């Protein structure tokens, strides 16, 4: 922290915040929208079924997994931008221009596989456990 402050001033402590917000908020909004869609799309568990509790958990796991993957995949470019901002110490717009100049539109999918592990699993788990505790 001291190094950042000494080299970049007080504003350096907030570097990347805009990209962090731009990646986190859409990620969860996307995941919740997909979860809500899956809620209406998937058949409801039959309360008279002897496996009702397991059926509800499987339904919740399905919609949580789909929501987590969608949230991670659709917001992956924002993760790329944020990570690049930390590497090149440039503002948001300039970072996007540099990424596009150097990689074209392929920067949109850079690191997608790792992002699926780092993002889809935690987002999906958050939705699943919330859903399981509310039921």
Mean pLDDT of 105-131: 92
Whether 4 and 12 have beta carbons less than 8 Å apart is answered as yes
Q: What distance in Å separates the CA atoms of residue 114 and residue 106, rounded to the nearest whole number? A: 16
Look-up: residue for tokens 């987590």?
A: 68
Instruction: Quote the pLDDT of residue 22.
Output: 73
Is the pTM higher than 0.85?
A: no
Identify the CA nearest to 66 among candidates 128, 131, 133: 128
Mean pLDDT of 93-109: 95
The 10s digit of each residue's pLDDT in 36-81 is 999 999 999 999 999 999 999 999 999 999 999 999 999 899 889 8
Whether 68 and 124 have beta carbons less than 8 Å apart is answered as yes
Beta-carbon contacts of residue 135 (< 8 Å; ≥ 6 apart) = 56, 60
Whether 27 and 67 have beta carbons less than 8 Å apart is answered as no
Exposed, middle or buried: residue 97 (CB in 10 Å: 0-12, 13-18, 19+)? exposed
According to DSSP, residue 111 is labeled: T
């Amino acid at each position: 922290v001291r190094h950042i402050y000494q080299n970049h001033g007080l504003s350096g402590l907030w570097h990347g915040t805009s990209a962090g917000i731009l990646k986190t908020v859409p990620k969860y909004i996307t995941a919740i929208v997909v979860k809500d869609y899956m809620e209406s799309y998937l058949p409801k568990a039959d309360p008279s079924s002897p496996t009702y509790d397991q059926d509800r958990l499987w339904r919740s796991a399905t919609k949580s997994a789909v929501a987590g993957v969608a949230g991670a995949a659709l917001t992956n470019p924002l993760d790329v931008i944020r990570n690049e901002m930390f590497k090149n110490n440039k503002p948001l717009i300039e970072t996007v221009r540099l990424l596009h100049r150097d990689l074209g539109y392929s920067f949109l999918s850079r690191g997608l596989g790792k992002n699926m592990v780092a993002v889809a699993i935690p987002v999906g788990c958050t939705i699943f456990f919330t859903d399981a505790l509310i039921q």
